[in-house]
């Protein structure tokens, strides 16, 4: 018994040190090298933190660009999708309500011009980005609400379009919060 008990106690102590002390210290050290120093990449406006670069926020006013809908009401503590398939009647009803809302706020836009990402939630429910097409379809509404020429808003959208990683992986995106902050700064 003593032959097996002592080595197992030693192994347990070594694994506790590795898993509970050394590994967390290593990960914390690596996190300090990341943007935000391990606290997340924050977005600042006038010296104040107004949000996080990787967590979406809801904008309802016509004067702002709207992001993707959220199945979790933008709650980062409980991220997740709706788990409803494209043939689920409740899901189809929710998407139709989002389409109707979008059309009510964007007169002159046809249903087939609405990018699907503006009426469907992302898998996490927290996506902070939209495509350039999703931003451009909202330009007229934002320009009208702010009494700014559409050309100015379109240029702002182009300026805030982020290229894919190494111009190879992914698609161009726009961080909605950063775009809306820029909108507030031009007025």
Could you read off the pLDDT tens digit of each residue along the chain, which spans 187 residues? 778 888 899 999 999 999 999 999 999 988 888 777 777 777 777 777 777 777 888 888 999 999 898 888 877 777 777 778 888 899 899 899 999 999 999 888 899 999 999 998 887 878 889 999 999 999 999 999 999 999 999 999 999 998 888 878 888 999 998 999 999 888 6
Q: Return the C-alpha torsion angle 151, 186, 137, 65, nearest 10.
A: 180
Residues 172, 97 share a domain? yes
* Confidence at residue 187, expressed as pLDDT on a 0 to 100 scale: 67
Q: How far apart are CA 99 and CA 147, in angstroms?
A: 25
* Residue 102 maps to a domain: yes
Full residue range of the structural domain in which residue 26 is found: 8-40
Residues 104, 31 share a domain? no
Residues 16, 97 share a domain? no
- Residue 177: HSE in the Cβ half-sphere, 13 Å Cα cutoff: 18
* Residue 2 maps to a domain: no
Residues 20, 66 share a domain? no
* Confidence at residue 86, expressed as pLDDT on a 0 to 100 scale: 82
Residues 72, 26 share a domain? no
Q: How far apart are CA 66 and CA 177, in angstroms?
A: 9
Residues 148, 80 share a domain? yes
* Confidence at residue 142, expressed as pLDDT on a 0 to 100 scale: 93
Give the predicted TM-score (pTM) of the model: 0.76
Going through the chain in order, the beta strands assigned E by DSSP cover 42-45, 48-52, 129-130, 161-162, 173-175
Residues 60, 12 share a domain? no
Residues 31, 18 share a domain? yes
Residues 66, 23 share a domain? no
Beta carbons of 175 and 53 less than 8 angstroms apart: yes
User: What's the start-to-end Cα distance of the chain, in Å?
Assistant: 79
Residues 24, 81 share a domain? no
Residues 80, 161 share a domain? yes
Residues 153, 83 share a domain? yes
- The C-alpha angle 109, 182, 152, rounded to 5 degrees, equals 55
- Number of domains forming the structure of the chain: 2
In sequence order, the 6+-apart residues with CB closer than 8 A to the CB of 78 are: 72
Q: Is 106 left (phi over 0), alpha (psi -120 to 50) or beta?
A: beta
* Residue 166 maps to a domain: yes
* Residue 29 maps to a domain: yes
* Confidence at residue 101, expressed as pLDDT on a 0 to 100 scale: 92
């Amino acid at each position: 018994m003593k032959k097996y008990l002592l080595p197992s106690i030693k192994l347990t102590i070594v694994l506790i040190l590795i898993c509970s002390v050394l590994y967390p210290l290593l990960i914390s050290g690596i996190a300090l090298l990341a943007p935000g120093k391990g606290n997340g990449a924050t977005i600042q406006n006038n010296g104040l933190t107004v949000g996080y670069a990787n967590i979406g926020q809801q904008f309802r006013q016509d004067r702002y660009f709207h992001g993707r809908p959220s199945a979790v009401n933008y709650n980062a503590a409980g991220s997740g999708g709706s788990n409803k398939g494209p043939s689920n009647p409740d899901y189809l009803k929710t998407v139709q309500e989002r389409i109707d809302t979008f059309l009510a706020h964007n007169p002159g836009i046809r249903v087939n011009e609405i990018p699907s990402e503006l009426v469907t939630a992302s898998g996490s429910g927290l996506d902070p980005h939209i495509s350039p097409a999703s931003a451009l379809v909202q330009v007229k509404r934002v320009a009208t609400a702010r009494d700014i020429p559409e050309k100015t808003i379109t240029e702002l959208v182009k300026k805030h379009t982020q290229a894919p990683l190494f111009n190879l992986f992914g698609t161009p995106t726009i961080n909605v919060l950063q775009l809306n902050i820029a909108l507030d700064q031009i007025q």
